[in-house]
Amino acid sequence: MPAEVTDATFADEVLGSDIPVLVDFWAEWCGPCHKLNPILEDLAGEYAGRLRIVKLDADANPETVRAYNVMAMPTLAVFRKGEVIGQLVGMRAKFTLRNELDEILSRES
């Protein structure tokens, strides 16, 4: 199950992580965000040790949303060593998301 992060914990949990982190910027009112949840839960298990998946409630954490110019839900941002190395906006099928994540993670750091 993806962990929750907040404005207060973002720097430690995401920017300071030793492994890449996918941040799911979501909102309670966002239907596609809820459809994405079980996909992210499955992928969290598949990518264990290679990619950490966390969730950030966009409505409750406006500082982080503003800092990364998140304009639509869901937005998935992949961070490595404190930098965004990939960003995906919108709902995706599991196989599509897996392919996109593999491509992002294969990029040079």
CATH of the domain at 44: 3.40.30.10
Q: What is the CA radius of gyration of the chain?
A: 13
CB 74 within 8 A of CB 90: yes
In a domain, 94, yes or no: yes
Q: Which two tokens stand for residue 34?
A: 């809820």
This model's pTM is above 0.85? yes
In a domain, 32, yes or no: yes
Tens digit of pLDDT per residue, the chain (109 long)? Answer: 889 999 999 999 999 999 999 999 999 999 999 999 999 999 999 999 999 999 999 999 999 999 999 999 999 999 999 999 999 999 999 999 999 999 999 987 5
In a domain, 109, yes or no: no
The number of folded domains in the chain is 1
In a domain, 28, yes or no: yes
Q: Which residues are catalytic?
A: 30, 33
Residue 87 structural domain? 3-104
Distance in angstroms (rounded) separating the CA atoms of residues 24 and 87? 10
In a domain, 43, yes or no: yes
Q: Which long-range contacts (CB under 8 A, 24 or more apart) does 63-67 make?
A: 63/7, 64/6, 64/7, 64/10, 65/25
